Amino acid sequence: MHDALRPLEFLLGTWEGEGRGSYPTIESFRYREEARFWHIGKPFLAYSQRTWSVVDGSPMHSESGYWRPLGDGSLEVVLAHPFGAVEVDRGLIEGATIELASSSVVTTPSAKRIDGVTRKMSVAEGVLSYVFAMAAEDQPLQFHLTAHLERTA
Amino acid sequence: MHDALRPLEFLLGTWEGEGRGSYPTIESFRYREEARFWHIGKPFLAYSQRTWSVVDGSPMHSESGYWRPLGDGSLEVVLAHPFGAVEVDRGLIEGATIELASSSVVTTPSAKRIDGVTRKMSVAEGVLSYVFAMAAEDQPLQFHLTAHLERTA
């Protein structure tokens, strides 16, 4: 593992668990999630996740991208979303907690517009927890998703 | 497979082979590549690729994202690059040939700026070939990468 990844080592592995989502424009929902963080010897983490409905097991969201620690306690994250969006975040690593805010979210012409997101993620007692907030569809930045995942590999 | 993916079915699978790159600001190079296109039952292809030096096997580039056919012969592509960039492309599918041009490339503050890219990709006689052109570092849009890959899975 590249030395630059030490501050993000606590994320490495495969994580599985459940989450819930809500937003003013949709019905609340619950989901199963699998998230993976891995490295290939370079100074970034590769990341992908998928979610499934807890009701019928159908695939819901997925996203993939890269986490780039900058060596000064800050990091950049670049992500692609299959509904037609890309996301660039900046943030800070403090122990096993990361707080990110988007500097840019670009949506394709066929996708719903997203104006900004924040991500807070932490690992405590073997559980990865995150809260994802979003400003979209003329709604102000607010809670959208939270999940608690356990390391399975 | 979701019906919307029929126009991109020719990309599905794992592809391996060799490529070469050049640009006015760097030395020319050759690389090994593995690219994967897969689906999860939804109307997009998931995509990831990695490249390695042919000289010493060290990891070089990687990228990941999603290909979204829109049903009218056009498609959108959203990608993340670990050097700190996200890419949104639009283009056309014509038989087993795809031509894409970026509508937006956003780079992180720590990354080299990229002003635009084009991708031409085709499959003929079991070989996936692509040409990637790039405008970056004050250079006009021009050839950067080409590779020929065979389906291995």
How confident is residue B91, by pLDDT bands cut at 50, 70 and 90?
very high
pLDDT of residue A98: 98
pLDDT of residue B139: 97
How confident is residue B59, by pLDDT bands cut at 50, 70 and 90?
very high
DSSP B112: P
pLDDT of residue A37: 98
pLDDT in tens, A15-25: 999 999 999 99
CB B90 within 8 A of CB B75: yes
CA A64 → CA A15, A79, A150, B104, distances in Å? 14, 6, 19, 18
Q: How far is CA A114 from the centre of its chain?
A: 15
Contact flag A79-B86 (C-beta cutoff 8 Å): yes
How confident is residue A95, by pLDDT bands cut at 50, 70 and 90?
very high
How does the average pLDDT of chain B come out, rounded?
A: 97
> For chain A, which domains are there?
3-151 (2.40.128.20)
Q: Give A48's contacts in chain B (Cβ within 8 Å).
A: 64
d(CA A150, CA A129): 9
pLDDT of residue A88: 98
Please classify residue A138 by burial: count the beta carbons closer than 10 Å to its beta carbon, then call 0-12 exposed, 13-18 middle and 19+ buried: exposed
Determine the average pLDDT of the residues in B4-30: 97
pLDDT of residue B60: 96
pLDDT in tens, A11-49: 999 999 999 999 999 999 999 999 999 999 999 999 999
Q: Give A106's contacts in chain B (Cβ within 8 Å).
A: 86, 88, 104, 106
Q: How far is CA B133 from the centre of its chain?
A: 10
Which of A64, A70, A110 has the CB atom closest to B64's CB atom?
A64
B109 interfacial to chain A (CB closer than 8 Å): yes
Torsion of the alpha carbons at A134, A137, A139 and A143, rounded to the nearest 10 = -30
Question: Residue B107's closest chain A neighbor by CA?
Answer: A88
Instruction: Please name the residue that has the structure tokens 């569809």.
Output: A137
Which of B42, B85, B88 has the CB atom closest to A78's CB atom?
B85
pLDDT of residue B37: 98
pLDDT in tens, A117-145: 999 999 999 999 999 999 999 999 999 99
The residue type at A51:
T
Best residue in A48, A75, A86, A112 to probe B by mutation, most B CBs within 10 Å? A86
Q: Give A80's contacts in chain B (Cβ within 8 Å).
A: 64-66, 78-80, 86
Shortest distance, CA B27 to any CA of chain A (angstroms) = 21
DSSP B6: G
pLDDT of residue B3: 95
Contact flag A110-B70 (C-beta cutoff 8 Å): yes
Range B28-33 contact pairs with CB under 8 angstroms and sequence separation of 24 or more: B29/B53, B29/B60, B30/B54, B30/B55, B31/B60, B31/B61, B31/B147, B32/B57, B33/B147, B33/B149
Whole-complex ipTM: 0.96
Burial B85-101 (b: 16+ CB within 10 A, else e): bbbbbbbebeeeebbbe
Determine the average pLDDT of the residues in B16-39: 97
